[in-house]
């Protein structure tokens, strides 16, 4: 887990803003007019506004398996929830893909729970990005979209997007 206001936390978000040209915006109108990312290379965009609870469960069960299959040996993935939790985890280690209690005197009751982001953005931006930015799964909550980049992840997603209840936008 990467704690807020630490150099590692700041560094990964700086990379997201720089490499992906990430532009978060809470205005639905603005976010629909201007793309939130500028991705060099191949990418796909899928809409998820009609995804059912059962399909969300499929996403939650299939994506960890997919990431474990395509992540190069020894590499890790960032799991990011904008302004909240940030994890750097091994996709082969399920124990690292869980919520974590963070202890400290500065927190009410002496701790808070850092929630591991879901693969379905439930009201905030949720990103899963290979540590060298070779591939990524970028969830945009207001546009109801998943942006996928990296040829191998695109190939895997293309086989499953209809099963997930996604609509191909781009």
Supply the pLDDT for residue 35. 82
Q: What is the mean pLDDT of residues 30-41?
A: 77
**Choice between 30 and 23, residue whose per-residue pLDDT is larger:** 23
CA–CA separation, 162 and 88 (whole Å):
29
Quick: pLDDT tens for 114-132: 889 999 988 889 999 999 9
Supply the pLDDT for residue 113. 86
Share of the chain above pLDDT 90, in %: 64
Q: What pTM did the predictor assign?
A: 0.90
* 3-class state of residue 53 by DSSP: helix
Nearest to 78, CA basis, from 127, 32, 28? 127
Quick: pLDDT tens for 45-58: 999 999 999 999 99
Supply the pLDDT for residue 161. 96
The pLDDT-based confidence of 27 (bands split at 50, 70, 90) is: low
DSSP structure string for 68-84: HHHSPTT--EEEEETTS
């Amino acid at each position: 887990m990467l704690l807020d206001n630490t150099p590692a936390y700041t560094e990964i978000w700086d990379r997201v803003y720089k490499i992906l040209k990430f532009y978060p915006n809470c205005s639905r109108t603005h976010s629909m007019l201007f793309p939130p990312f500028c991705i060099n290379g191949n990418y796909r965009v899928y809409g998820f506004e009609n995804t059912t609870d059962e399909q969300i469960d499929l996403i939650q069960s299939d994506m960890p398996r997919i990431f474990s299959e395509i992540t190069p040996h020894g590499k890790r993935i960032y799991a990011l929830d904008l302004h909240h939790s940030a994890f750097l985890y091994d996709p082969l280690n399920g124990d690292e893909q869980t919520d974590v209690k963070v202890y400290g005197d500065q927190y009410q009751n002496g701790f808070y729970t850092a929630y591991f982001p879901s693969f379905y953005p439930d009201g905030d931006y949720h990103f899963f990005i290979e540590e060298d930015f070779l591939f990524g799964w970028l969830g945009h909550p207001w546009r109801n979209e998943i942006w996928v980049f990296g040829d191998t992840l695109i190939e895997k997603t293309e086989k499953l997007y209809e099963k997930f209840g996604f609509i191909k936008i781009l």
